[in-house]
Structure 1
């Protein structure tokens, strides 16, 4: 039977290719007769460019850009088939901020200026369609840094440019200047559908993982509410409540204000990597689809990659499994999303062991799970998310 292994990256421990390889090794070891195919994926966040480069070829362009806290980071964007693919996390990703440094002050100051530099580099290279992958950011600045890098500068009521970071948006009066993007089609490839503000917004949902405490979350949400006015003026409409406005700390809202069209990052990658053809072959053989990510939680079911894989599998009557670093998504919601079972490395091997040897423990989990499902799609046990 055919098994397709199509995971996202596992946080900062394994990229998508490493995760796919580990799962495939474990499955092949346990059931050597299965035909296991690896299709590493990304949903717009970390690994977006690497996954697409592996699938599409094309040319990687390297650049030194501004990191989330003002330091210089090395990032790459991909030119393939007349389109530029930019990964926001490459410039302002959470992996650029050491875990020990993720605190309220860094959450207040982190900036997307480097994303704008990557977009400008693609524009200057003559590319007229730019897809920006959103996800995995360290920022909550509403895309203000990106806009500034593109010539649309947020200023206070004295006309002075704002300092970097989301907290400074509390005194934003307007956006001066126009972004130099004439003739460029923008696409926001988003991993979530969150709005900009409120309890489902950029600060409340994603701020804590970036170091924001409750007081800082409230401060950033209030600052983004102020910035929503200038964004609406730039867009010619309100963008604050549009789906994906809250993606990447509000970077989605800034892209919407620039006229970007939102696409599912997971859906786009699913198409470009040929996942549908692999799922067709799995369906013909009575096989199984296996996906995964670092933390499979309720947020995963709001447009992240695992749901795109599960949707594609469900369309073909194929069982879909999730192997995750940690799994806490509600069982009923996971089943409703088309996920037949979820397993987690931390629950199997312990959190310490999973962090010390992420590939080995993920491989071991896959080896344990494989015999339960390698019978034509119906599990002999574990047939509900756990």
Structure 2
């Protein structure tokens, strides 16, 4: 039996590579003759660069950039020919700020702009920025300032200072800095910049914002939008699906002439999942929480649809499963299994994620082999 093992990360516990190895080890312990192909994946958030490096090769480049609180952090991007892949989380991710210090009113995306500039200086003509896992909510203002937009002082201090912008922002220096470069925002978030479905309302609470701060953040982004891309009768870039990704970094990239593309589709194409699935007998994917959001274009959904297109069954192994069986089946999922059920508790699953995932994979393998 040929098995393609293509999970996302299990957020907070296992990287996609660690999850793939755990599933493979567990499955082979129950089915030693199985041939396993490990294809760790990412949707554009944390792990994006690591996954693409494993699939494409290329050169990893490290740079010291400005972190979300203004102190230096080390971030990497992947240079593959004239294409660079970077993930915003390496420069402004949640993991870079302790929970007690998170304040989306003052965290900046400046480091993302510094990474983009470094990639362009290294010869990249296409820069793909994976969006997700950010601790910022500045609409990409810090990124734009790092590339030359002015007034820099009003753009690099996070979201709060944006509310005081009194005139237009000069974007031309930033646009010149990336002239002739194709910018791609890789995300599967379809939120606009503003409003009840926008960056502040949907993602602000995850970054430490209470309801009153969410209101202030949205007002600050509205002021920033008015200073950078006043909406016409048909709306503006602020309304483009994905503009609200990563605290509005999607919007900042749109201001530079970038496009929004599916992070899942980009990664699945890069690793050649369609061809691998076509030659497999079984595909296994997984993530931390397999829930209703998973069926709205997230990575397991993309993997399951790819497998189904080739008539190959697809199993989901996840930390928790909160999807109706019929809904999952309609998306191409043959069966789904929860780590917390096999481990006996959430605490056990979190304490020993790799061991419990190996045990779950072994149990599933035994059941799969015993099928009539």
Aligned to 1:274: 272
- Whole-Å Cα distance in 2 between the matches of residues 320 and 102 of structure 1? 41
What pairs with 1:1-386 in structure 2 (closer than 5 Å)? 1-98=1-98, 100-101=99-100, 103=102, 106-153=103-150, 161-173=154-166, 174-178=168-172, 179=174, 180-233=177-230, 238-282=236-280, 287-329=281-323, 331=325, 333-349=327-343, 350-374=345-369
Consecutive unaligned residues of structure 2, counting only runs of 5 or more, are none
1:114 CA displacement:
0.6
Aligned length: 366
TM-score normalised by the chain length of structure 1: 0.88
- Whole-Å Cα distance in 1 between the matches of residues 287 and 85 of structure 2? 22
Could you tell me whether the CA contact under 8 Å between 1:112 and 1:143 is conserved in 2? yes
Q: Which is further off, 301-310 or 273-282?
A: 301-310
- Whole-Å Cα distance in 2 between the matches of residues 154 and 304 of structure 1? 37
1:154 CA displacement:
5.5
- Match of 1:109, SS state, is coil
Assess, with a 3 A threshold, how the Cα gap between structure 1 residues 336 and 201 changes in structure 2: closer, same or farther. farther
- Whole-Å Cα distance in 2 between the matches of residues 226 and 232 of structure 1? 10
Assess, with a 3 A threshold, how the Cα gap between structure 1 residues 80 and 210 changes in structure 2: closer, same or farther. same
Consecutive unaligned residues of structure 1, counting only runs of 5 or more, are 381-386
Assess, with a 3 A threshold, how the Cα gap between structure 1 residues 327 and 196 changes in structure 2: closer, same or farther. farther
- Whole-Å Cα distance in 2 between the matches of residues 36 and 69 of structure 1? 43
1:38 CA displacement:
0.7
TM-score normalised by the chain length of structure 2: 0.91
